[in-house]
């Protein structure tokens, strides 16, 4: 999750998300943390007081502007669910539709966060967005001041800097995070599309039931250059993984092999450092019988950021027949914490665990231990 979003929510000290480690600014920030704790205790400022609809909107805005990770979507939805703040994938898409992608930062750009620090850091970006009416500067923060008051002492972005593009000339007119729906992801999927890779991709499916299967194919050179391929990695979601592991190894291997003719679609997660056409968080996941479970080698799959769709070119009748014939695979984990985790209930839209299930499992474990 981009730490700049935590700063935009008022949950950390101003500048903390862009202060380099071991810098004098980071040392001062650590010293000031004690004062912030004192203020929060005296004024009874609690996390729930700061976790509001407005603060989550701020988090989404700064994430879109700076090109933050897709993992932020999972975290924001989980945090909002815990704080009982209504937030859905539709909110993510709504913000993405109106917020331009501004930052020429790695991994898709050429500058680093330390470079941004040198020209004012996250507070200076927030200052730009508050002035434009895109960030709510009136939200409360851990300092006891409003967000606008926190960033007021910081400089505006220099006119000649090249890291943050002007609002009038963005890298992309809308956000890089797109929520894709279609017959392959009726509950939604999250794509990170900066525009550099294009806006649409169509190719033949190559299906892998676990990430290690794709890793083996890549290691053996079994993914050819040339023809467009959509690599489907499934059974890596919250239940199927279990735990929704991050597909960092595969995406890195694809880039390292120079496979510009492939896209990756998974019900697992993928890193913000990933490149190219990658779609993750496919809902419903394969382990619960989502359509991604019945994709077959050779099916034509289209990813479109123009229409926000993820679809396989398979008839409804054929999909229904495949779904009827589908049977869930055996669990890869049958004991221990992950096996218990796989038995939990997951809310599709908010991605929140059923805490009652966790409590029930904990009670069972305690009873077994005491006996």
pLDDT tens for each residue of 16-61: 999 999 999 999 999 999 999 999 999 999 999 999 999 999 999 9
In a domain, 164, yes or no: no
Among residues 224, 244, 225, the alpha carbon closest in space to that of 234 is found at 244
DSSP character at residue 71: H
pLDDT of 115: 95
DSSP character at residue 280: E
Cis, bond preceding 357 (omega within 30 deg of 0) = no
In a domain, 161, yes or no: no
The CA distance from 123 to 34, in Å, is 20
Q: Which of 140-149, 194-203, 361-370 has the lowest mean pLDDT?
A: 361-370
Number of domains in the chain: 3
Q: State the CB neighbour count (10 A cutoff) for residue 167.
A: 15
Residue 61 shares a structural domain with residue 126: yes
Question: What percent of the chain has a predicted confidence (pLDDT) above 90?
Answer: 68
Among residues 255, 254, 237, the alpha carbon closest in space to that of 246 is found at 237
Mean pLDDT for all residues in the chain: 89
In a domain, 170, yes or no: no
Residue 46 shares a structural domain with residue 26: yes
In a domain, 27, yes or no: yes
The CA distance from 5 to 2, in Å, is 6
Among residues 243, 188, 245, the alpha carbon closest in space to that of 211 is found at 245
pLDDT of 274: 59
Question: Residue 271: pLDDT band by 50, 70, 90 thresholds?
Answer: low
Residues in the chain: 371
The CA distance from 253 to 305, in Å, is 24
pLDDT over threshold 50, residue 310:
yes
Among residues 151, 167, 193, which one ends one of the domains? Answer: 151
In a domain, 159, yes or no: no
pTM, whole model, 2 decimals? 0.87
Question: What percent of the chain has a predicted confidence (pLDDT) above 70?
Answer: 91
The string over 241-274, giving b where at least 16 C-beta atoms fall within 10 Å of a residue's C-beta and e elsewhere, is bbbbbbbeebbebbeeeebeebbbbbbbbbbbeb
Residue 31 shares a structural domain with residue 108: yes
pLDDT of 359: 43
Task: Give pLDDT tens digits for 60-114.
Answer: 999 999 999 888 998 999 899 889 999 999 999 999 999 999 999 988 889 999 9
The CA distance from 11 to 231, in Å, is 38
Task: Give pLDDT tens digits for 314-347.
Answer: 999 999 999 999 998 888 888 888 888 787 766 5
**Strands across the sheet with 177-180, in order?**
177-180, 188-192, 278-283, 262-266, 229-233, 200-208, 300-304, 309-312
Residue 305 shares a structural domain with residue 341: no
Question: Residue 246: pLDDT band by 50, 70, 90 thresholds?
Answer: confident
The CA distance from 353 to 345, in Å, is 6
CB 284 within 8 A of CB 307: no
The CA distance from 323 to 105, in Å, is 42
pLDDT, greater one: 284 or 256 = 284
Question: Residue 348: pLDDT band by 50, 70, 90 thresholds?
Answer: very low
Q: Which residues are catalytic?
A: 271
Question: Residue 369: pLDDT band by 50, 70, 90 thresholds?
Answer: very low
Query: The domain containing residue 79 runs over which residues?
Result: 3-151
């Amino acid at each position: 999750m981009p730490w700049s979003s935590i700063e935009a929510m008022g949950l950390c000290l101003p500048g903390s998300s862009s202060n380099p480690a071991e810098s004098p600014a980071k040392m001062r920030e650590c010293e000031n943390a004690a004062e912030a704790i004192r203020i929060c205790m005296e004024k009874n400022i609690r996390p729930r007081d700061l976790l509001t609809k407005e603060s989550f909107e701020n988090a989404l805005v700064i994430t879109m502007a700076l090109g933050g990770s897709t993992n932020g979507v999972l975290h924001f939805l989980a945090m909002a669910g815990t704080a009982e703040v209504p937030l859905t994938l539709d909110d993510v898409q709504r913000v993405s539709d109106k917020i331009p992608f501004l930052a020429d930062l790695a991994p898709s750009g050429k500058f680093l966060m330390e470079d941004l620090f040198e020209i004012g850091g996250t507070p200076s970006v927030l200052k730009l967005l508050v002035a434009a009416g895109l960030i709510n500067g009136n939200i409360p923060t851990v300092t006891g001041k409003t967000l606008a008051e926190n960033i007021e002492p910081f400089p505006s972005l220099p006119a000649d800097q090249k890291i943050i593009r002007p609002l009038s000339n963005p890298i992309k007119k809308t956000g890089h995070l797109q929520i894709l729906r279609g017959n392959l992801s009726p509950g939604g999927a999250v794509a990170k599309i900066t525009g550099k890779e294009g806006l649409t991709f169509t190719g033949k499916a190559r299906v892998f039931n676990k990430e290690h299967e794709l890793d083996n194919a890549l290691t053996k050179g079994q993914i050819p250059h040339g023809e467009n391929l959509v690599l489907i990695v499934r059974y890596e979601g919250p239940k199927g993984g279990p735990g929704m592991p991050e597909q960092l190894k595969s995406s890195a291997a694809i880039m390292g092999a120079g496979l510009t003719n492939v896209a990756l679609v998974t019900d697992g997660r993928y890193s913000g450092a990933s490149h190219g056409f990658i779609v993750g968080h496919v809902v419903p996941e394969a382990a619960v019988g989502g359509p991604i479970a019945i994709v077959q080698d050779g099916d034509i799959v289209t990813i479109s950021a123009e229409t926000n769709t993820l679809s396989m070119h398979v008839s409804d009748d054929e999909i229904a027949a495949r779904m009827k014939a589908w049977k869930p695979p055996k669990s890869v984990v049958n004991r221990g914490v992950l096996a218990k985790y796989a038995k939990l209930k997951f809310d599709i839209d908010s991605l929140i665990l059923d805490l009652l299930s966790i409590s029930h499992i904990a009670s069972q474990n305690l009873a077994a231990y005491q006996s």
